[in-house]
Structure 1
Amino acid sequence: MDDEPAEITPRSDAPANPDPVPNPAAPMGRGFWAVMALIGVLILLIIYAQVQGVTRTVPVNLTGTSWTLTYYSNDGGTMVPVTNGTVVTIRFGLENGTILDGNSGCNEYSYQYTIRGSMLTLTRGSGVTTEMFCPAPGVMQVESTYLHNLENSTTIRFRSDHLYLYDSADKPLLIFEQTTS
């Protein structure tokens, strides 16, 4: 026997390169692109919803509309909900510069008003209110605070179908939702 090692000859059915060859990635199918498009649409909707959440100048014509008070600033400056079945409303006249009126919880009121851009002006001395006494608990306090806030409102804004009135320091005083009629 020879002391020389035997030469190994490769088999003809064995692969020429023993290293595995990676398979090429499958092309992105329609399903992948459909999912990516849906994700894009969701991202746009989220961004749009956030932008719409910004309070902006009143973009609608308020003349002839009616609103119901949902929150008001109490004497301590905290926004509180209208409770105890008290209904406070505001209606804007058919023309800018006419009458703004409503029910302040117990009594009827009216003012002459103008809106220019986001500025609300109640004509000083134009306010008229009935003088009924309401025995329901808390109604007279809500009414008094509401009328005080209304008279101190200088800015009006609209957001998410709600009307916001602010004072000259840009603090919220009153929040309304539109009354369907």
Structure 2
Amino acid sequence: MIRFPSLFALPLGLAACTAIPPQTPDAQPESYMALGTEPGWTLEITPGLLNYTGDYGDTKILEPNPGARPGFNGERYTGKRLAVDITHAECSDGMSERRYRDTVTVSADGKTVKGCGGGILAPEALAGTSWTFVSIGGVSVAGGRVASLAFEETRLSGSAGCNRFSGTYTSDGTTLRAGPLMATKMACPGAAMTQESSFFALLAGPVRLEFPSDGTLILTGADGQSAVLKRAI
């Protein structure tokens, strides 16, 4: 089992890996996140700090951000205990099959680890991915029941908070068309039934697919209503 250090307990976890590192020492970016496995490590770069947690949380290094200098197809940070090379080359984290914009190498007190960072790229295909709902129609999903959506080669299945559903789908990478859905007939009180009805209405027509760099999936129907999901697998 792969263990990760406690820094993963951020509000959006690894989905926060969206900011672009500075191109010059004077640039002031939002925070940049990178991570790796075996051993598990994370790195946060803010305008003022390099914050590294390695060896599954046993190693912690916090030092001033020295500013980025040009590196090979990317940027390099050289601190007293940390040296960070960010290369703008696609990277897979090796566990969840998420793909990231950057390949990151960190030398911490002379020990070198490699991993991924930057914006999360869209999956190469929907098939084999699984997602959990964040919101439907602009409303956060109701708690108490799992709301998820999974894609196989030609079929999708899941629950929008009440009944289980499944059906066929086709996608060209930008548009999703779901076939007739079959669903169980359980009645759920309150918000769960409302959000399910909203999602079924959204899937009734062509749905636009968007993959923001925070790793989410946004499904938008013809009427402008949308559902936001985060990657589970």
TM-score range with shorter-chain normalisation? 0.5 to 0.7
Aligned 1:32-181 pairs, distance under 5 A: 38-40=67-69, 41=75, 52=119, 58-73=122-137, 79-93=138-152, 95=153, 98-123=154-179, 126-135=180-189, 137-159=190-212, 160-168=214-222, 171=224, 173-180=226-233
Identity of aligned residues (%): 28
CA distance in 2, matches of 1:60, 1:172: 25
Q: For 1:168, give the aligned amino acid.
A: A
TM-score (norm 1): 0.58
What's the TM-score once normalised by structure 2's chain length?
A: 0.46
Q: Which secondary structure does the structure 2 equivalent of 1:151 belong to?
A: coil
Note the alpha carbon deviations across 1:123-165, whole angstroms, 9 max, x for none.
2xx2111101224x32211211121123345211212111111
Larger radius of gyration: 1
- Listed as ranges, the gaps of 5+ residues in structure 1 are 1-34, 74-78
Following superposition, the deviation at residue 65 of structure 1 comes to 1.4
Q: Which amino acid aligns with 2:128?
A: G
Distance apart, 1:172 and its partner CA: 5.1
Greater relative contact order (CA < 8 Å, ≥ 6 in sequence): 1
| Unmatched tracts of structure 2, length 5 or more | 1-24, 27-65, 70-74, 77-85, 87-100, 103-117
Report how far residue 52 of structure 1 moved: 4.7
In 2, distance between residues paired with 1:140 and 1:172?
17
Deviation at 1:82, TM superposition (A): 1.1
Give the residue type in structure 2 aligned to 1:121: R
Rounded Cα–Cα distance in structure 1 between residues aligned with 2:163 and 2:208: 24
**Greater helix share, 1 or 2?**
1
Alpha carbons of structure 1 residues 132 and 105: separation in structure 2 relative to 1, 3 Å = same
Q: CA deviation at 1:70?
A: 0.2
CA–CA distance in structure 2, aligned partners of residues 145 and 179 of structure 1: 22
- CA RMSD after TM alignment: 3.3
Seen in structure 2, the aligned counterparts of structure 1 residues 172 and 52 have a Cα distance that, compared at 3 Å, is: farther
Q: Count matched residues.
A: 129
Amino acid at match of 2:183: T
Contact in 1 for aligned 2:133/2:160 (Cα 8 Å): no
**Divergent runs of 4+, >4 A:** 39-42
39 and 172 in structure 1: CA distance in 2 versus 1, 3 angstrom threshold: farther
Any conservation in 2 of the 1:153–1:165 contact (CA below 8 Å)? no
